[in-house]
Chains A and B, each alone.
Chain A
Amino acid sequence: MFTLILSIFVLGILGFVFAALLGYAADYFKLEEDPRLQAIIKILPGTNCGACGSASCHNFAERLIKGEVQVSGCVAGGAEVAEKLAKFMGVEGLVVHKKLAIIHCGATEKQRKKKANYNGVKTCQAADLVDDGGLFCAYACLGYGDCYCVCPFDAIRMHEGLPIIGRDKCTACGKCVEACPRKIISLRLFAKPYVIACSSRDPGAYVRKICPVGCIACKICEKEAPELFKVIDNLAVIDYTISDIDGDKAVEKCPTKCILKF
């Protein structure tokens, strides 16, 4: 019993001494820190995603004070954080467009035509290496959800073998763009409501055979709204620099419905 009390006593004293020493040292060796630093860190999302190019949110805040990065530099925070930072740092006249990740494939698992059964490791990265993952279309989403796995913001969910990006959660950090082995995810400005849900550069006749929702390069959209749509390399492309032209008719007339409107 005596040993028990003694050991509690000794360890307690030791712990107390070290705590007191550390507390005193923390005060004595205190570094003068810019008071703005903590305020900026509070504004930042704090996920340390690294999409801005800085190592962490702390690092970004330090560089912001030094003037090395812009207030709009935080990719994950988007317009909201940029606005708050601009207000805090006294920067005016800032326009920030919200960017979103967009998946350029609209074929669900049933719609993708298979030439073989892929039984390997269930990741897009692995499936892409083996004869296009058993799909006829070399541009189709493989549907194993590599993008879903890397998304740090929980913005992607899988539905019928297709990733669906939640617009309010997506911060355009670009992790999914990197993760996709087929390179069919891109970051686009939210201001434009049209999306081409296909990346196939195969000739139209071939696409028609293998996919019910692929772009067959029929050029109907180009006829309806020539400023907005262009067919390049057998694929319709949207000119994202034009925002005021109405392309609804083209969306309606698209025979395979591969142009989506948000």
Chain B
Amino acid sequence: MGQMYFLVENEETMTSDSIKNNRNNNKNLTKWFSEIPFLRESQIMKIHYITGVGALFVVAIHIMMRLIMPFNMSLEFENVILNYKNIFYALLLESILILIAIHGFNGLRVILLEIRQTQIWERAVNILVIVAMIGIIAYGTRTIIIANGFSLG
């Protein structure tokens, strides 16, 4: 609401220049108050849909890799490590990790922002989901890199 006071207090002395300046200031304030200043909500939703559809294809390949041999056999340690040694499959796993982390945590953000709308809540939710997203991607990437490194040993 800070920008509201700013505009109201100055409304009596506004010139065309000051209106332009106020608009710019308002944009900057809006950027500060929106928690992800470089993306509009509509752009975030486009990313949400693109990552969702992308995840559909890569997860389908991931599941099919489990079904090219009897399911129990495909989960044996040697077979799983063989999958990770394949650089294309490792890249596929990394893409699954990134796509689902972005899609999933943004979905969680949307749900949490539907429940409550205050500035502190929105900022806390945005920070929480970004940190969680980066954390899970880092942790999963560590597994992929180390498991892929088994081929070097």
- Are A and B physically bound partners? no
A residues lining the B interface (CB < 8 Å):
none
